[in-house]
Structure 1
Amino acid sequence: MSSKSEDRREHTCISCGINISGTDAAKFDCPECGTLIYRCSTCRKQSNLYECPDCGFTGP
């Protein structure tokens, strides 16, 4: 269970770096290592690449 302070923390899109707090962003686990990944709706729609900061996995 996440704490309220974690819910308020600012998150950035892993592809473009914008602040995604309060937007229609996706949150998911890295398919390789399980690290939490955040992506904005624009990068998702454009299928922009991302790279996991922990394991280096690259995805669309």
Structure 2
Amino acid sequence: MKKGRKRGKRKSGKKKKKRERGMEGKRKRGKRKERGRKKKEKKERLASLDRDDGDKCKM
């Protein structure tokens, strides 16, 4: 048997109310912004580390 992504299979589960559905979207939007900020912070941290290493090499 071939295993893989099942297409067109209806997802079972309780249907959400309109308000709940809207809130879910809002939550996700906030998360996306946060993820971008984390990436930027990581890059900044790496850049600062590189700078420190550069100073050591010059010595």
TM range (shorter): under 0.3
Structure (1/2) with the larger helix percentage: 2
TM normalised by structure 2 equals 0.20
- Identify which of structures 1 and 2 has the higher relative contact order when contacts are C-alpha pairs closer than 8 Å and 6+ apart: 1
Task: Point out the structure with max Rg over C-alpha.
Answer: 2
